[in-house]
Structure 1
Amino acid sequence: MSAVTFWEGVAVLFAGVFAGGINTVVGSGTLVTFPVLLAVGYPPVVANVSNSLGLVPGSVSGAIGYRRELAGQRGRLLRFGTASALGGVAGAVLLLVLPPGAFEAIVPVLIVLALVLVVLQPRIARWLAARQGERHPHGGVGLLVAVFATGVYGGYFGAAQGILLLAFMGILMDESMQRLNAAKNVLAALVNLVSGVIFIFVADVAWPAVALLAAGSVVGGVVGAKVGRRLSPVVLRGVIVVVGLTAVVILLTR
């Protein structure tokens, strides 16, 4: 399938808007766009490839919307960005060599684990601080490994990689939730970009779908940044939990 009808195109466009906003605030936008692409007739691999490429502009626009929170994080982003990009490459390769559905089978477990970590993050952070003193400003080697592993997961499928990143960074790094969210947008964009570029050379890409998702996700990213930057840490964690639980339900019932 190389083209979509008018109404199918509208559905893909609005899915992109919604996903761009959700990705900027929390993550899991793929759980909106991927099923829509399947519903309009794209094969799973084509849908996955096109989704990865189409949501990159939305992550970029979301990161721009969070540019104030990104100030002073250049070194951190270079370090974690390298880990994310390498993880994205590894995830893309896994998609090509693993049996269909093998990796996706553990996605619900990963999301639930991430939600538990997000909810318990303040308590765990206080416990770590009491036992080890101040948390590492950059999370240490442990966070670098976690960011790489999340990149592997994101390169393969991508749903809820933002939730995983927020959970790991929030627990292991001494930083505000809003600044972590800003960094998350950049890292997720890198994973989607590198995996998408690899997929271009080994799979068919539905460029009309990519264009529609890109246009929609840019708008959603801008709106999401305006909304997300005004949320308190407690509310932001609440949004993360709601979106994450919805993601689990969708994955278990589709």
Structure 2
Amino acid sequence: MSPAEALAVLAAGIGAGTINTIVGSGTLITFPVLLAIGLPPVTANVSNTLGLVSGSITGAIGYRRELGGQRPRLLRLGTVCLVGGLSGAVLLTTLPSGAFDAIVPVLIGIALVLVVLQPRLARAVQSRRDRAGTAAPTHGGPVLLIGMLLASAYGGYFGAAQGVLYLSLMGPFLDEPLQRLNGLKNVLAAVVNGIAALFFVFVAPMDWAAVALIAVGATIGGLIGARVGRRLPPMALRGLIVAVGLVAIVQLILKHS
């Protein structure tokens, strides 16, 4: 890796760590850069996953205020995401490389619709509960758990727009402001990236120079993203989520067209 390539990977890591903390989809920054410097797709994918773990951790630390009182929820959802992330990592080493290519843009598109409609959906769900005289499940209920399991499997497999999927799933089922959900999303992403990376260390080829550069960049980016993201009003954050998701869809479609 030349000095110019190393600088590009480091810069991509900073960008990915920042956008992952605020929204998600940082993989769409780092993965193409790793391919551009000549890494094979699988090596680029697994090196990227390991490198981004540090950014997820610093992003979660930056959102620690928003995580207050959510420990039981984190433990339950974290366990589900741990299982899903490991399953996705296993799938990456066993399925054909293009197995998820066709469905991923559709999933992200559905997620964006849910993000846009989330306030209306949340009000409708709450209205139905009020009429039935029932309280909202503290942890979101079984539908959310199944959705998070599947989204985490996708995250362990590749992870582009994983954060968008998480926010779109949690929004209608958890009675929380968007920023608290974002803090929750950062911790769950760290869990998925961490377990997938641990699995990849033992079974897949790594480019350790790329891992180190992305890790340093993502650590810095995670801190930046937390400072910026926590100050965004809900509507601005929702708009950014949609914008990043649309870019992800376009990039994935162009990549496989």
- Does the alignment reach a TM-score above 0.5? yes
Q: Which amino acid aligns with 1:112?
A: G
Percent identity reads: 61
**Partner of residue 193, structure 2:** 192
> Quick one: which of 38, 41, 44 aligns to 1:41?
38
User: 1:227 is paired with a residue of what secondary structure?
Assistant: helix
Distance (Å, rounded) in 1 between the aligned partners of 2:34 and 2:84: 25
**Partner of residue 18, structure 1:** 15
Residue 59 of structure 2 contacts residue 186 of structure 2 at CA under 8 Å; is this kept in 1?
yes
**Partner of residue 211, structure 1:** 212
**Partner of residue 2, structure 2:** 5
C-alpha displacement of 1:137: 2.9
Distance (Å, rounded) in 1 between the aligned partners of 2:182 and 2:97: 31
Deviations 1:25-77 (A, max 9, x none): 00000011011100000000000000100000001000111111111111111
Q: Which moved more, 1:126-135 or 1:14-23?
A: 126-135
**Structure 1 residue runs of 4+, over 6 Å off?**
none
**Partner of residue 165, structure 2:** 164
Residue 138 of structure 1 contacts residue 174 of structure 1 at CA under 8 Å; is this kept in 2?
no
**Partner of residue 146, structure 1:** 147
**Partner of residue 31, structure 1:** 28
Distance (Å, rounded) in 2 between the aligned partners of 1:38 and 1:166: 28
Deviations 1:59-116 (A, max 9, x none): 1000111111111111111111110010011101111221121113211111111100
Residue 23 of structure 1 contacts residue 29 of structure 1 at CA under 8 Å; is this kept in 2?
yes
Query: In the comparison of the two structures, how many residue pairs are matched?
Result: 251
**Partner of residue 252, structure 1:** 253
Find out whether 1:76 has 2:67 as its counterpart. no
Q: Please give the TM-score of this superposition, normalised by the length of structure 1.
A: 0.97
**Partner of residue 179, structure 1:** 180
C-alpha displacement of 1:132: 2.2
Residue 50 of structure 1 contacts residue 205 of structure 1 at CA under 8 Å; is this kept in 2?
yes
Please list every run of 5 or more consecutive structure 1 residues that lacks an aligned counterpart in the other structure.
none
Q: Which moved more, 1:96-105 or 1:6-15?
A: 96-105
Q: Which amino acid aligns with 1:63?
A: A
Residue 118 of structure 1 contacts residue 167 of structure 1 at CA under 8 Å; is this kept in 2?
yes
- The two structures, once aligned, show a CA RMSD in angstroms of 0.9
